Chains A and B, each alone.
Chain A
Amino acid sequence: MTKQTDVVAAPAPADVVAAVHKQLGERVTVDDGGALVVGPSNLIDVVRALRDDHGLDYLANLTAVDWLDRFEVVYHLCSSAGGAPIVLKTTTDRANPRVPSLFGIYPGADFQEREVYDMFGIRFAGHPNLKRILMWEGFAGWPLRKDWREAYFEQEHKPLTSRWPDGQFFFGEDKLTDWGSNTKLPPAYTGAEIGRPKPQEGQYVVDIDALRRGTSFGSDRLVVNMGPQHPSTHGVFQMRLVLDGETVVDLEPVMGYMHRNHEKIGERNLWLGNMPFTDRLDYIAQLGSEWGYALCVERMMGLEVPERAEYIRVIMAELNRIQSHFWSIGFLLNDLGAFFTPSLYAIEEREIVLDLFEMATGSRLMCNYMRFGGVAYDLPDAFMPLVNVLVNERMERAIDEIDAYLTNNEIVMERMKGVGVLTPELAIAYSTSGPVLRGSGVAYDVRRADPYGIYDRFDWNVVTANEGDVYARYAVRIGEMRESLKILRQALPQMPAGEILGGKKAWQVRVPAGEHYARVENPRGELGYYCVSDGKANPYRYHVRSPCFVNLTSLAEMCKGYKVADVVAILGSIDIVLGEVDR
């Protein structure tokens, strides 16, 4: 059922840029960073040429930067066959920001464009459903613009000298109005209905009657909100379902209940101060999140990571992947209605890995372990024997056990096979990543496609499955746990002694001006960090490309035509973590 494929090498981004430049002539220019720059009017043509003629069929990341005099929309495109992403930029003026939407070329741009609209107010012409996605409807203001001042913490110069300038000991929030004095509220807002504004003209109008309007024999459709307070949405996530009987006719994911504007806070924090903050993104796969951020900043600073630290990172990240997949398989079964037994068996293994994390980092979930140029602490002496036992003896058995009980279980197969099918073409077009993409038969793993760390030293395979259904995603996860064990078995004996933290020791890092998009393969998919530095002590722009968030773009496509119960299974197979979706 699962197969293991090797990814063919793709051309280097510089070659692609040169070729594009040659083909499209003066419509594109190349800036100093090697990025393609194109005007908004040419954007669609250029992107279509990039996709069709240069094989850049995968929109990895889409975000924007506020340069105070203009907005720059940044696209990272790459090929599903592998290779580093090329950067495409377009600029638009701040007064009336408008950029054509890439929705027609990459459906995966859907949520990412909505996020940029939500945060910057850039309108994407041609987007079919351009409305706020993370902030509440009716929120006045564009939070990631540089002139938007963050509630409670607004200061002219960031980072703050003190969070409590007057030495107050009460919470500043309590003294202010509902949302803080610097928050802009809609004109009609009275504060009586916190968080529930009256719909204004042209926004947030769900035409319930139109959605309900009937089918055969005058029967009605049912419009149901599933979530945010629902047992199986994995957190405060909402799906607005339109049901015909029990069949899903339409589905709209609604998110942002846990939005805390991670990126704005990240831009206020010091560079290193963001490190523990990344733990809060995907709290099931915390160390992978840290690694992505560390990788991005290291590349911007040109830091070398010592051998030992690289090995520690691989060991931690792969342990992390195993425990995360255990968790997601356990809870997928929970979503199928198994009464907690599989998840508790899976959690038992996860707890052991978390014990090891606690031993090495001092914390089970919020590890705060990676540093720019290495890791924070060396492994304690007792760590290696334990991890050896775990990897060589216990884990394999645990995976076999899960595999034996679940993989060929009649009901499990009945519920998972043929449900939520995503074809490979659609999976790529929707920019899905991780087990969702590989479950559709696309052998795309950032560890292989765009290698980082020392993954090229190990012998391992990219696990794929061809069916593209819930069962395929489950099978990919089982296979990946085995591959992670394989990597661990190779990495553990090779572990060298030596330094764990390279570079100059400093409390505050200096990141040279520039930008970089670094990505790692987190258990849930491609986790990317796009950082822009202007040489100051805090990032000028800090963007997280969240795999959960982008994978959700394909949710509606996967769910239509299936039953209510399948929606839960499909959501479970995407395996979202709301901390990362909402950021």
Chain B
Amino acid sequence: MPRPGFVLDVDRSTPPILFHHGEGFRFEKLPPGRSRVIYPAEPIDPIKNPDGAIRDALENPIGDSEPLRALLKPGMKLTIAFDDISLPLPPMKSPDIRQRVIEAVLELAAAAGVDDVMLIAALALHRRMTENELRHAVGDRVYDAFAPHGLLVNHDAEDPDNLLYIGSTDQGEEVEINKRAAESDLLIYVNINLVSMDGGWKSTATGLSSYRSLRHHHNPKTMRHSKSFMDQHRSELHSSNWRMGKVLRDSGVKVFQIETTMNNNVFGTEGPMSVLQKREWEWTLKDRITAMGMKAALDRMPARSKRSIFQNWQAPHAMTSVQAGEVEAVHKITTENVYKQHLVSVEGQTDILTMGLPYISPYNVNSIMNPILVACLGLGYFFNLYRGKPPVREGGVVIMSHPTPWEFHPVHHPSYIDFFDQVLTVTHDPVRMEAEFEKSFAEDEWYRHLYRTSYAYHGVHPFYMWYWCSHALQHVGQVIIVGGDVRAVHRLGFKAASTLQDALEMASDVVGRDATITHLHNPPVLMADVS
């Protein structure tokens, strides 16, 4: 029986806590008496027969939907869209959940005599997936059957011929999505829900949309009104996507949503990496030797080698639920299942929030975690992993641990380089950068060309990463990065500290000497349910 997450009050007997630090670790002693650590739940038990569960979900849909078998007709136009490389994190061991679901869907489609089938990676403004990444997501069988005929493609949000303007919401938000998806008799969306922000109408209204549509909710105003964007009842991002979903539904786009959840088994229960998933006081002698050995080796290893080791890691995630049918009804159940794994009850806020940032975020799979992504992972994702209120009080301090190298992937993140040099040198204010710089990056022909033909994130993407931090930047009084490249940290507008003790000392200027501390222990991710 997996143990639930819990909050540990730090005292003198508490061992040093493992902080992830990019492609390495730090062991930190938190001040006793005024610190607490939020530990995630252990991985919940997976479904024993995932393929059977998928077939069952397709036959017994949720909400106002017929079984998939009944929706499939000979001669129909069928489009299957699926989540891109940003999910799950880290990439999971083969077979990927998407492969299992897509194969089950295609078996039914074949039995129904559906010939006109197309698969689309719903990547919005993310980079295109490479052949290997697509193969991993959908499996060799599906890839070999569809890709050579041009029937398995990456969504192109800058292809005017393949986008269709559907209409606008009652608040004037334009809805424009992939033309093939919009004109299909049935659009099946295959989703992986890693965090509660994923899924629902966000899958189609964001994943298959264009800049014209995305700009209505990917902006500082929406992000500042999403408290947090992981809590759909208090997320303006969620509300906007739901309004767009209504436009899609009313215009006749028929969506059959298939959502899956997975457990947080990131490093497994065996092998050297499994120590990263255990609670420190439960480490055996072997675990302690492994952890120390890994740290010593990683500290001495070149960055490229470390990155290669971690980026090649495939997590033994396993599926914990699958539900299919009408979008909103499905997503409601999905969210409950996500919460079963992630929610940890936490009482009250503290003055300081600490977090060890790992090597991976949704936007640097098989890539480099540049300083902008470090900020986004900490202040965008981890900070927002709460329900109720943030674990740190307003005006408090966030301390993040990450090497924050001044390093960018030139193929994946070309516009990030210019954003770092041209925008962050002028302002850190998301509202100002939106007004002054966003349009020129979003409509830059070179970035557009790289997004469409190479493997680059869209020109506007680094702005979105900064907007993601809007709520945190507005909420906290100071951000300190421990162990980061000082110049890069300063460019981000944050303070740099060599050690956690230094960071706490610096934080005392803002929150006082006896400040209380909350540490988010991750990965795996958790969601603090703060009362």
Do A and B interact?
no
Chain B residues proximal to chain A, CB less than 8 Å: none
